[in-house]
C-alpha cells in the first residue's frame, strides 16, 4: 500500500511539471516568430529582395508550426476546454463588445479565476474573464460593459 501511495505522489508532482514545460515551449515558439518578424522588417528596410523572400517564408513556416503546436496543446489538455455539465441560471445570448450586461452574467461564480491556465491574456485592472456558456467575455466589473468576446472557446 505504501508503494502505491508513494507512486501516486510522485506522479502528482511530475505531471504538472510536464504541462508547464509544454507551455514554456509554446511561449518560446511565439518569441522565435517575433524575432523572425523583426528580421523581416530589417531586411525590408535595407532592400535585399532575396533575404526578404527567405524571411517571409521562414515567418510563414514558423506561424504554421506554432498553430500546429497550439492544436496539439489543446488536444493534449482537452479537459481544460471541455464543456462538461456547465449550466447557468439564464439563457444563452451572443454578446458583443460595448454592450452592458446585468450583474448576474458576471457574478463571482462565472469569473475565470486563473486565465493563464486557459492561455487567455491577463485581465488588467477591474476587468475579469467570465464564462458565458461556450463563450468567454472580458467584462469591466465596475460598469458591466463587455470589453472583448471570444466565441466558442469551450468546444
Helix segments in the chain, DSSP class H: 2-46, 49-76, 78-81
- pLDDT at res. 51: 72
The model's pTM is 0.46
Q: How confident is the model at residue 21 (pLDDT cuts 50, 70, 90)?
A: low
In the predicted structure, residue 16 carries a pLDDT above the cut 60:
no
Kindly state the cell numbers that stand for 149.
468576446
pLDDT > 70 in the chain, percent: 73
131-151 confidence digits (pLDDT tens): 988 889 999 999 999 999 998
Contacts of 82 (CB under 8 A, 6+ apart): 154
Higher pLDDT: 66 or 51? It is 66
The four Cα atoms 92, 98, 99, 102 give a dihedral, to 10 degrees, of: 90
Could you read off the pLDDT of 60-103 as tens digits, one per residue? 898 899 888 888 887 887 776 665 565 666 677 788 999 999 89
Over residues 110-120, mean pLDDT: 89
Amino acid at each position: 500500500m505504501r508503494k502505491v501511495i508513494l507512486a501516486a505522489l510522485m506522479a502528482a508532482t511530475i505531471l504538472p511539471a510536464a504541462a508547464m514545460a509544454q507551455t514554456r515551449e509554446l511561449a518560446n515558439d511565439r518569441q522565435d516568430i517575433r524575432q523572425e518578424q523583426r528580421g523581416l522588417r530589417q531586411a525590408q528596410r535595407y532592400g535585399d529582395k532575396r533575404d526578404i523572400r527567405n524571411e517571409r517564408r521562414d515567418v510563414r513556416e514558423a506561424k504554421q508550426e506554432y498553430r500546429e503546436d497550439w492544436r496539439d496543446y489543446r488536444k493534449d489538455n482537452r479537459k481544460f476546454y471541455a464543456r462538461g455539465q456547465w449550466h447557468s441560471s439564464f439563457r444563452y445570448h451572443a454578446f458583443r463588445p460595448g454592450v452592458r450586461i446585468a450583474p448576474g452574467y458576471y457574478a463571482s461564480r462565472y469569473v475565470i479565476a486563473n486565465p493563464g491556465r486557459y492561455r487567455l491574456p491577463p485581465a488588467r485592472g477591474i476587468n475579469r474573464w467570465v464564462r458565458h456558456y461556450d463563450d468567454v467575455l472580458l467584462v469591466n466589473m465596475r460598469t458591466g460593459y463587455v470589453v472583448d468576446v471570444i466565441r466558442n472557446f469551450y468546444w
